[in-house]
Amino acid sequence: MLGFFVGEMIHSLFLINLSGDIFLEKHWKSVVGRSVLDYFFEAKEKAVNPEDVAPVLQTPHHYLISIYRGKIFFLAVIQTEVPPLFVIEFLHRVADTFQDYFGECSENVIKDNLVIVYELLEEMLDNGFPLATESNVLKEMIRPPTILRSVVNTLTGGTNVGDMLPTGQLSNIPWRRAGVKYTNNEAYFDVIEEIDAILDKSGTTVFAEIQGVIEACVKLTGMPDLTLSFMNPRLLDDVSFHPCVRFKRWESERVLSFIPPDGNFTLMTYHVSSQNLVAIPIYVKQNISFFETGSCGRLDITIGPKQTMGKTVEGLMVTVPMPKAVLSVNLTASQGNFTYDLATKVLVWDIGKLNPQKLPNLKGSLSVQAGAPKPEENPALNINLKIQQVAISGLKVNRLDMYGEKYKPFKGVKYVTKAGKFQVRT
């Protein structure tokens, strides 16, 4: 006998905004009453932040699995044993699709495109089973709205429904349609690395890893078969690929061999966790302290370059969620601007470029609510930064070859390093 999951995985979907209004519902089997959501609302009430609502909730007769994206809860109602990751992945895919179609995934944009949204949902899931989730395929069945098209449609009574079957459906390469034609053939790859790190008070690295992703924009005619190789593929011990990548060749030769989808897609993600490979581009000297008496405190932050691979650190920004008791700040920045949001108690210092000759510094006093006890928690600093033209892990693309087509495409690779979840404890 087979396992525990049942095809009818998602019974219903509800989209709920932050104030708890249900602004879209879709039922694949029978209509489920909204009262089932009471359990969700209860959990939402209890949570301090919307992000803190647990993604899987149990009710007497249903399970509620939700994700939180773009200030919207996507909530699936489940009646039987279903792999929850399956549902969560699918919900994220729905959100990705909206993003892809409408440029953003927000309540307004969904409300403005209800019919398309409905058509998409119906096409993505049949009888609770995912049907078409590849954006290439979907876009041929249901055309995304463009301002031009909606104007034309209104004038001519045109349609936003594709009346042809997506050609990708006919081939064994579901992610690519046949008969793609371009006058300019081009293939661009962005290697984007994000540093996730926790540094402690003294500046020692507690934990660091690199999350890398290769985003591709491939506009090539016909059925090109690409091979991408790296100078140093050994760096990559943990990878996940777009379904188009031939895993066998990666295993044996460490090259990426694939027939690409048309347009933008994520070719691979990887992560580098061995710490000696993770360079930390900056150091932070900081001191945030509160005095026992006098209801005030001091703040002093200096940032300097560390391992920058000879490149300039840009887009430097420091975010500090202050303790609730901090009423106002009186600070001076040697470079850049700072703001302190009184409502959310978040201090943001936007520095910009890091000049090694003149290190940026922010210092001054913090005033604390009179009579309040000295804040107990230590605020952590969140760092944002960007370094162009380098992948901090040292990963380099060696070459890109194309087979199967005769023309010569434009090729390009760009590198960028950013801070991901980069935190400095105080």
Partner 1 sequence: MQALANQLCENRQFGSKMTDSKYFTTTKKGEIFELKAELNSDKKEKKKEAVKKVIASMTVGKDVSALFPDVVNCMQTDNLELKKLVYLYLMNYAKSQPDMAIMAVNTFVKDCEDPNPLIRALAVRTMGCIRVDKITEYLCEPLRKCLKDEDPYVRKTAAVCVAKLHDINAQLVEDQGFLDTLKDLISDSNPMVVANAVAALSEIAESHPNSNLMDLNPQTMNKLLTALNECTEWGQIFILDCLANYTPRDDRESQSICERVTPRLSHANSAVVLSAVKVLMKFMEMLPKDLDYYGTLLKKLAPPLVTLLSAEPELQYVALRNINLIVQRRPEILKHEMKVFYVKYNDPIYVKLEKLDIMIRLASQANIAQVLAELKEYATEVDVDFVRKAVRAIGRCAIKVEQSAERCVSTLLDLIQTKVNYVVQEAIVVIKDIFRKYPNKYESVIATLCENLDSLDEPEARAAMIWIVGEYAERIDNADELLESFLEGFHDESTQVQLQLLTAIVKLFLKKPTETQELVQQVLSLATQDSDNPDLRDRGYIYWRLLSTDPVAAKEVVLAEKPLISEETDLIEPTLLEELICHIGTLASVYHKPPSAFVEGNHGVQHKGLPGSAGSAESESPDAVSAGAATEAPAAVIPSQGDLLGDLLNLDLTPPATTGPLPHSGGMQMGAMDLLGGGLDSLLGGDLGGSPAMGAGFGAPPAAMPPAFSAPVSGSLYDLFDLDNGVGMPLGSFCPPKTVWLPAMKAKGLEISGTFVRHAGVIQMEMTITNKAMSVMTGFAIQFNRNSFGLAPAGPIQVPSPLSPNQNIEVSLPLNTVGPVMKMEPLNNLQVAFKNNIDVFYFSCQYPISVLFAEDGKMERQVFLATWKDIPNENESQFQIKDCHLNSDAASNKLQSINIFTIAERTVDGQDMLYQSMKLTNGIWALAELKVQAGNPNYTVSLKCRAPEVSQCVFQSYEAVLKN
Judged by CB under 8 A, the chain residues 155 through 174 that form the site for partner 1 are: 157, 159-161, 163-166, 169-170, 172, 174
Choice from 70, 100, 129, 225 touching partner 1 (CB under 8 A): 129
Please say whether the beta carbons of 359 and 304 come within 8 A: yes
* DSSP output for 140-174: HHBPPP-HHHHHHHHHHT--SB--S--GGGTSS-T
Among 126, 253, 341, 401, binds partner 1 (CB under 8 A): 126
Identify how many contiguous H helices and E strands the chain contains and give both numbers: 7, 23
Q: In the window 290-329, what residues touch partner 1 (CB under 8 A)?
A: 321, 323
Dist. CA 16–CA 121, nearest whole Å: 16
**169-208 residues near partner 1, rule: CB under 8 A:** 169-170, 172, 174, 196, 198, 200, 206-207
Identity of the residue, 112 or 314, whose beta carbon is nearer to partner 1 in the bound complex:
112
Under rule CB under 8 A, how many of the chain's residues touch partner 1? 110
Q: How far is the CB of 408 from partner 1 (least distance, A)?
A: 30
Site for partner 1 in 230-249 (CB under 8 A): 237-243, 247-248
Task: Using the minimum distance from each CB to partner 1, give the nearer residue, 312 or 384.
Answer: 384
The answer to whether 396 and 390 are in contact (CB under 8 A) is no
Applying the rule CB under 8 A, the residues between 41 and 80 that interact with partner 1 are 47-49, 51-52, 54-56, 58, 61, 63, 66-68, 78, 80
Q: Which is nearer to partner 1, 91 or 354 (CB)?
A: 91
Q: Which of 274, 265, 206 is nearest to 236 (CA)?
A: 274
Per CB under 8 A, 84 contacts partner 1: yes
240 or 330, CB closer to partner 1?
240
Burial call 242-267: b when 16+ CB within 10 Å, e when fewer: bebbbeeebeeeebbbbbbbbeebeb
271 binds partner 1 (CB under 8 A): yes
Burial (CB < 10 A; 0-12, 13-18, 19+), residue 195, is buried
